[in-house]
Amino acid sequence: MDREQLLRRVGSLQQLAYIRPVTFEEGRAKGLRAYEVKNGPLSYRVLADKCLDVEEFCYKGVNLNFLSKPGLQGRNHYDTHGDEALRSIMGGLFFTAGLENICAPCTLNGKDYPMHGRIRTTPAEHISADGVWEGDQYVLRCSGEMREAELFGENLILRRTVETRLGERKITVTDTIENQGYRSEPLMLLYHINLGYPLLDEGTELVMATRKVTPRDETTAGHEDRWNLMDAPKDNEPEYVFIHDLRPTRRATARCLSSTTSWASASSWSLPGRTCPTSWSGNPPPPGTMFWAWSPPIPASTAGPAMRRRGRSTTWPPLPARPMSSPSLFWRARRSWRRPGNRRRRF
């Protein structure tokens, strides 16, 4: 349906789609700024005070992401204080780890690098939020920039755009990173994607082009044969994390397939394959932590601190070099999916 036909059928287009600023007023989320976006059956929330990460993500009114025990919260004094960061990691559809460190906290040469870095709790500047016609397509777009900087240290800019188009069942996140300093800087970037119940439940399957699966640690060793299946919650069970060597493809794609008796759905997300030769997946079954995390690191690594010690981080050139773009991410809520050898399921 083109623009003229659609406008004939509605009073305000906000019947179907909108982007609205909101501010939370209680608990640990008090003062947290965000943007609520509705695109027909698809809705999500972009956190203006947390790197423009996408927190809540729903399709047809059903939540698809994980939210951790601390719940929705704004910025806290312990956000970047070593392991205390675990008290501020909410989950959400995804949060951004980097830009100086990913994974475990560490101290190198007297400098502290917090868990998953500082960018995930950095508020956005120069924010723009708009619903605009581009030809016959109505685009809902939120954009801004986050700066990670130190007086005598780095000066990195992450520019992000999150958008969706009316009638589509997907969102697109596009990032560009620029080094505005005058020296090359080590760079790490990881998208911590978190799927949760009811999309995720016992028997849910993760499908990706994995060439080789390696357990992250001794705790995970011996569970490689079930890396792609979610089990029922188990008391006192540890977290299992697997490192995937992906087959070379045009896009590094993962799909989460759920077909339980009470809920049937699928979601998928992808990045350009050339930038993501490796990814991680986690299957933590303890009660209260049922979520699947798919973390494509750029560049690939086995651990942030180990990566730094080995000098394996990407180096971002200083000005006047052109800004270098990270990949676009796509999340799609699907009405149907197909397993190899199976008939197509529709819902």
- pLDDT score of 89 more than 90: no
How many residues are present in the chain? 347
**CATH number of the structural domain 3-346:** 2.70.98.10
205, amino acid identity: E
Q: Identify which has the larger pLDDT, 344 or 115.
A: 115
| Mean pLDDT value across the chain | 81
pLDDT at position 323: 52
For the chain, give the longest Cα–Cα distance. Answer: 65
CB 52 within 8 A of CB 62: no
Place 57 in a pLDDT band, splitting at 50, 70 and 90: very high
Task: Select the highest-mean-pLDDT range: 82-91, 175-184, 258-267.
Answer: 175-184
Reported as a pLDDT band with limits 50, 70 and 90, residue 83 is: confident
Reference 199, options 177, 221, 230; nearest CA is 230
Q: Is 181 helix (H, G, I), strand (E, B) or coil?
A: coil
Higher pLDDT, 194 or 334: 194
Q: Which two tokens stand for residue 278?
A: 């490796």
Class of residue 168 by CB neighbours under 10 A (exposed 0-12, middle 13-18, buried 19+)? middle
Strands 241-246 and 62-63: unpaired
Task: Note whether 69 and 196 are within 8 A (CB).
Answer: no
What's the pLDDT score for residue 44? 96
Sign of CA dihedral 4, 10, 11, 13: negative
For position 295, what pLDDT does the model report?
73
Residue-wise pLDDT for 192-245, tens only, equals 888 888 888 888 888 888 888 888 889 889 988 888 888 888 888 888 888 888
pLDDT of residue 340: 41
Residue 6: C-alpha distances to residues 18, 136, 195 (Å): 15, 10, 34
Model confidence at 48: pLDDT above 90: yes
DSSP assignment letter at 5: H
From the list 185, 193, 173, 184, the residue with the least C-alpha distance to 99 is 185
pLDDT of residue 262 exceeding 80: no
pLDDT digits (tens, 9 = 90+) for 269-291: 666 655 555 666 766 566 777 77
The band of 335, judged by pLDDT with boundaries at 50, 70 and 90, is: very low
pLDDT computed for residue 54 by the predictor: 96
**Is residue 12 predicted with pLDDT exceeding 90?**
yes
pLDDT of residue 37: 98
pLDDT average, residue stretch 239-256: 76
Please state, in angstroms and rounded to a whole number, the distance separating the CA atoms of residues 264 and 168: 19
- Beta bridge partners, 107, equal 112
- Domain ranges in the chain are 3-346
For the beta carbon of residue 222, count every other beta carbon within 10 angstroms: 10
Residue 220 contacts residue 241 (beta carbons within 8 Å): yes
How many C-beta atoms lie closer than 10 Å to residue 132's C-beta? Answer: 9
Q: What is the pTM of this model?
A: 0.87
Partners of 171 in beta bridges: 331
Please tell me the predicted confidence (pLDDT) of residue 339. 45
